[in-house]
């Protein structure tokens, strides 16, 4: 199956700094990737759809200036949490669809644990 990686797997930063999280499709190309946020013991909340070569599409209530998304190539999307604050601490997960037959199956990265002090 297809593999999606994320880097870093965990990061601790000071309040006010920016953090970049990478999502890579290792053995397939992805023109679209999805970024999710998962709070403890809660479901995944879709934050935005990352589109290669164009602007990301953000879900309602997600601050686009706070969560910058860049999809620079067919295998890499980055999420930058700008001026991070403790309330941004969360588990961030990306996914990428891979075509298998007639359906695009989603493959998920292992997630990035962000802790903002």
Residues that bind other proteins (CB under 8 A): 6, 32, 34, 41-44, 46, 49, 93, 95, 97, 103-111
CB of 16 to other proteins, least distance (A): 29
CB of 63 to other proteins, least distance (A): 20
Instruction: Return the DSSP state at 87.
Output: G
Q: How far apart are CA 63 and CA 74, in angstroms?
A: 24
Closest CB to other proteins among 30 and 84? 30
Closest CB to other proteins among 22 and 82? 22
Residues across the chain: 117
Cis peptide bond prior to 8, omega within 30° of 0: yes
CB of 115 to other proteins, least distance (A): 15
Closest CB to other proteins among 43 and 54? 43
CB of 9 to other proteins, least distance (A): 10
């Amino acid at each position: 199956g297809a593999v999606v990686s994320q880097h870093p797997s965990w990061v601790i930063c000071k309040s006010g700094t920016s953090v970049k999280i990478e999502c890579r499709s290792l053995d397939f190309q992805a023109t679209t990737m999805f970024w999710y946020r998962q709070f403890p013991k809660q479901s995944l909340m879709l934050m935005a759809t990352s589109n290669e070569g164009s602007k990301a599409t953000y879900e309602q209530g997600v601050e686009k200036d706070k969560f910058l998304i860049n999809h620079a190539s067919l295998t890499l999307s980055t999420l930058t949490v700008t001026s991070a604050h403790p309330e941004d601490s969360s588990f961030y997960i990306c996914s990428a669809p891979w075509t298998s037959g007639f359906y695009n199956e989603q493959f998920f990265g292992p997630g990035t644990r962000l802790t903002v002090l």
